[in-house]
Amino acid sequence: MAMCPLCNNFKTINVRCPECGRAITDQGKVSDYFDDYSPYMEVDELKLEDGYPTDFKDSQCPHVFYCDSCQQEVLFFIGEWG
């Protein structure tokens, strides 16, 4: 089973906003925002329904990053370890 290094706090990354170039912050995996219970559900099952057709197959964890300056959300696919 693959695991996301960001979700498990094994790694941090510095990401810049594509709009303004300032540092943006990780807001967690996309599936955590589906509903109140999604943070407690099986990650691989959620990937089959999250609207990203290859994240399960390619062992990627889609994360939302947010720019405080632009108020822009940016999606990044984080490669899982496994």
Tens digit of pLDDT per residue, the chain (82 long)? 799 999 999 999 999 999 999 999 999 999 999 999 888 889 899 999 899 999 999 999 999 999 999 999 999 999 999 9
In a domain, 67, yes or no: no
pLDDT of residue 55: 97
Task: Supply the range of the domain harboring residue 6.
Answer: 1-61+76-82
The answer to the question of residue 56 being in a domain is: yes
Residue 39: per-residue pLDDT: 85
Q: What pLDDT does 72 receive? A: 95
pTM: 0.89
Residue 13: the pLDDT is 95
Number of domains in the chain: 1
Q: Is 39 part of a structural domain of the chain?
A: yes
For residue 23, what are the contacts with CB-CB under 8 A and spacing of at least 6? Answer: 14, 15, 16, 17
Q: Tell me if 40 is assigned to some domain.
A: yes
Strands ordered across the beta sheet of 15-16: 15-16, 23-29, 60-67, 72-79
